[in-house]
Amino acid sequence: MDILLLGPPGAGKGTQGAILAGRLGLPKFATGDLLRDAVKRGTPVGLQARAIMESGQLVNDDIIMGVVREELAKPEARNGVIFDGVVRTVPQAEGVTRLLAELGRKMDHVLFFDVTDEEILGRIEKRRAIEGRADDDPKAVATRLRAYRDQTAPVLEWYRARGGVQVIPALGPVDEIAARVKGLLGR
């Protein structure tokens, strides 16, 4: 089963994705984590992505599609994947659809984590104090929210036009939100 998690930065996709991955026994695939790891290791992808990520802009689609292709080719991805923050532009949505189709698969569920801007800003500020991510400083956060509105919000409409998007109200305690996800998926 392939599941896509959509939502603005700070919506809780990473937290809920990890819970879901554990419950369903599927790998969670987060481009943000993979890119941060590439930056740390100084790989060619990391060298290209670093400044873009720190500014809060989106890394270009060709780099992302290369990463997605590599992840989907791994044996542990053969039964499905939880896509966390992977599809952030309409060309990525088209590319992922194509790659899954080559494997005889499709995105089985698209979950949209719905939160208010106010909540997002509060959560990111808290995370910044804990994780110290360069792209959690206020200027980069503003850029990330703009990138989300301009480039990622249209992805939601793209999937809506092609079938179901399941909306998860994502305010409240983590376990309550996890229970909503479980209720919607039926498992």
Q: Is the dihedral of CA 145, 149, 155, 161 positive or negative?
A: positive
144 is catalytic: yes
Question: Which one, 5 or 178, has the nearer CB to ligand ADP?
Answer: 5
Applying the rule CB under 6 A, the residues between 118 and 157 that interact with ligand ADP are: 135, 144
Say which DSSP state 27 is in: -
Tell me the residue number closest to ligand ADP, measured at CB.
32
109 binds ligand ADP, rule: CB under 6 A: no
Q: Which position among 13, 28, 36, 180 bears the catalytic label?
A: 13
In three state form, how does the secondary structure of 34-92 look? HHHHHHHHCCHHHHHHHHHHHHCCCCCHHHHHHHHHHHHCCHHHCCCCEEECCCCCHHH
Question: Which one, 35 or 178, has the nearer CB to ligand ADP?
Answer: 35
Helix axis angle for 90-102 and 61-72, nearest 10°, is: 20
Question: Which one, 9 or 80, has the nearer CB to ligand ADP?
Answer: 9
Which residues have a Cβ under 8 Å from the Cβ of 119 and sit 6 or more positions away? 10, 171
* Dihedral pair phi/psi, residue 164, rounded to 5°: -85, 140
Query: What does the alpha-carbon distance between residue 105 and residue 97 come to, in Å, rounded to a whole number?
Result: 8
13 is catalytic: yes
- Rounded to a whole number of angstroms, the minimum distance from the CB of residue 103 to ligand ADP is 19
Say which DSSP state 77 is in: G
- Rounded to a whole number of angstroms, the minimum distance from the CB of residue 22 to ligand ADP is 19
Question: Which one, 86 or 181, has the nearer CB to ligand ADP?
Answer: 86
Q: Which of 9, 12, 80, 95 is close enough to bind ligand ADP by CB under 6 A?
A: 9
Which residues have a Cβ under 8 Å from the Cβ of 73 and sit 6 or more positions away? none
Q: Which of 1, 18, 52, 77 is close enough to bind ligand ADP by CB under 6 A?
A: 52
86 binds ligand ADP, rule: CB under 6 A: yes
Interacting residues toward ligand ADP by CB under 6 A: 9-10, 30-32, 35, 52-53, 56-59, 64, 85-86, 88, 92, 135, 144
Q: Among all residues, which ones are annotated catalytic?
A: 13, 88, 127, 133, 144
